[in-house]
Amino acid sequence: MLFWSLLISSLVSFCFAAPRSDSSPRVVLDKGEFVGEINGTTNCFLGIPYAKPAERYRQAEPNDPYFGIHNATNFGPSCPGVHDPTPNATFYQDYVDLVNSELPGVNAESSPVSEDCLTANIWTPIHAKPGDDYPVVVFIHLGAFVQGGSTSYNGGVIVERSMENGTPIIYVSINYRLAAFGFLPGKEAKAAGVTNLGMRDQREALRWVQRYIRSFGGDPGRVTIWGVNAGAESVGCQMLANNGDDEGLFSAAVMQSGFPLPLNTYAQLQSSYDAMVNGTNCTAAADTLECLRHVPFDTFSQAMAAVPTESRLAGWQNIIDYDFIQGQPPQRMMTGLISRVPYIVADTDDEGTQTASFLSSITTDEEVAQYVQQLALPGISDEETAEVLRLYPADPAQGSPFGTGDANELFPQYKRLGAIIGDLEFQGWRRFFLNVTSEHQPAYSYVSKYFKDYPILGASTVTDLLDIYAPGTLTDYLINFVAFGQPDNGTGIYWPRWIKSSPKILSFTNDSVPVEIIDDTFREEAINLVVSLNLAHPE
């Protein structure tokens, strides 16, 4: 998501607290003691290493036993990545201002970065102690696998709300390696076993939670993994890892605006590896990967930022390595090689508008056809392209932001592109996930129309987070799901399980009827087409 670097930088939230004293919360891990802070009615413990210090292009290793007294009142550094340029459009800055107004108490300071970044942050109820066995949610941050960090959101908001609701939970957020540090493709990375390191970091963090969450008052048998955008795709890949064997690391999952998509293989993105080697003057090295391990940080970062993207997905992405990700995710799902835990999958109504807003050079039918055939669905025929354009017409009233008539047409074809991108990248794969798994495990879904009236972008991708971290109605459903494995728990509007024969989802809006049950059949013919074409032409 090109825009989210700007939004992420505005969402850094800290653990505001009184000065540390003898009353500061403490937790004992092994023979070490971590001293946190009180934040309202919660305790927070920040920046705790969940693995040994990360070495470039080495798999994360479990932490050594803790000793001594440790200050856990500051976030650890974020993992380095690639930051997108800030959009110049006024409506983007207005959007950031909206976010800041909706999330009181945020701090726009940026977080320092370091390759030694594998840390976790834990918020607990203020009197939590070992044996309380509170359910746990582990949040995996967004950022397109190239940016972001665990400092972006204040987990205390959710824990405080859970206490107000009488269903206390514990919140954990984690860092994982990003961009070329965490998602290096190529045959050399494959041979060394260092592909998908960011995903492997997440797995190590989940193992850490199993080892230590009891010390914070949590129940290792009730851990929900929750992600947004790239974090949601990560959740899906964690469900698919090890042929669907979740190792008991989690018992439920939540995916917002991201799902397991068709992926490139490590070999298809060999050019990204080669570009790193060329950009760091490692071409003459006998072992180019070993050379990359020792390139100075600044030189490495500059080379990483200069690497072009590949195909429809960015150059730094989770890839099929036939190890952590053992095959195309959709095919793995269809053959049942996925963890059978309860889950929620969700989208916003206008997922594609942010990406579409960067495509202002595409303004004619012919240019849209070229975009679809060369970038969105490379390899499809002229006839298939024509059918996509028939089902996604140029009429602004049928485009995204949906339901806004002729308004919000930023440039000719903008709303048409928004509709195609939103369905191809998001709505189609949400519905596909439900279709192939819901008969085997409890499944729930929603679409968020929050901020539908926002100019140009509408209910754009991950705007539902503005309700969760407010907190709002979605927060309560999330807490119920973490605590009980179902989102309504007999309170609020009934949330039906998604059933293939009669698919129902919740729709959330800012209107006078804020929540309603709707049929999950909108744009059915068009969505079925783009998903089937993507399955036939994965990249």
Q: Half-sphere exposure (CA, 13 Å, Cβ side) for 461?
A: 30
pLDDT tens, residue by residue, 414-461: 999 999 999 999 999 999 999 999 999 999 999 999 999 989 999 998
Give domain status of residue 305, yes or no.
no
User: How far, in Å, CA of 481 to CA of 236, rounded?
Assistant: 17
Q: Half-sphere exposure (CA, 13 Å, Cβ side) for 105?
A: 15
Give domain status of residue 285, yes or no.
no
Give domain status of residue 120, yes or no.
yes
pLDDT of residue 470: 85
By mean pLDDT, which of 89-98, 255-264, 478-487, 504-513 is the weakest? 89-98
In this prediction, residues 162-176 reach a mean pLDDT of: 96
User: What crossing angle do the helices spanning 270-279 and 297-306 adopt, rounded to 10°?
Assistant: 140
In this prediction, residues 203-219 reach a mean pLDDT of: 98
pLDDT of residue 308: 82
pLDDT of residue 502: 94
User: How far, in Å, CA of 265 to CA of 484, rounded?
Assistant: 38
Give domain status of residue 187, yes or no.
yes
pLDDT of residue 11: 46
pLDDT tens, residue by residue, 362-399: 999 999 999 999 999 988 999 999 999 999 999 999 99
Give domain status of residue 291, yes or no.
no
pLDDT of residue 419: 98
Which pair of structure tokens corresponds to residue 435?
């279709």
pLDDT of residue 512: 74
pLDDT tens, residue by residue, 15-59: 644 445 568 999 999 999 999 999 889 999 999 999 999 999 999
Mean pLDDT in the chain? 90
The pTM (predicted TM-score) of the whole model is 0.92
Q: First-to-last CA distance in the chain?
A: 18
pLDDT of residue 409: 95
User: How far, in Å, CA of 449 to CA of 515, rounded?
Assistant: 10
Give domain status of residue 267, yes or no.
no
- Looking at the structure of the chain, the number of domains it has is 1
User: Which domain, by its residues, includes 88?
Assistant: 4-261+323-536
In this prediction, residues 238-246 reach a mean pLDDT of: 94
Q: Is 448 left (phi over 0), alpha (psi -120 to 50) or beta?
A: beta
Examine the pLDDT at 463 and tell me if it is beyond 80.
yes
pLDDT tens, residue by residue, 247-304: 999 999 999 999 998 999 999 999 999 999 999 999 999 999 999 999 999 999 999 9
Give domain status of residue 23, yes or no.
yes
DSSP string covering 371-411, please? HIIIIISTT--HHHHHHHHHHS-S-GGGSSSTT-TTTT--S
List, in sequence order, every beta strand (DSSP E) within 229-271. Answer: 252-256
pLDDT of residue 102: 56
User: How far, in Å, CA of 36 to CA of 46, rounded?
Assistant: 7
Give the residue carrying structure tokens 């949590």.
Answer: 218
Instruction: Give the pLDDT band of residue 6 (cuts 50, 70, 90).
Output: very low
Give domain status of residue 208, yes or no.
yes
Q: What is the CATH number of the domain that holds 139?
A: 3.40.50.1820
pLDDT of residue 83: 75
pLDDT of residue 106: 38
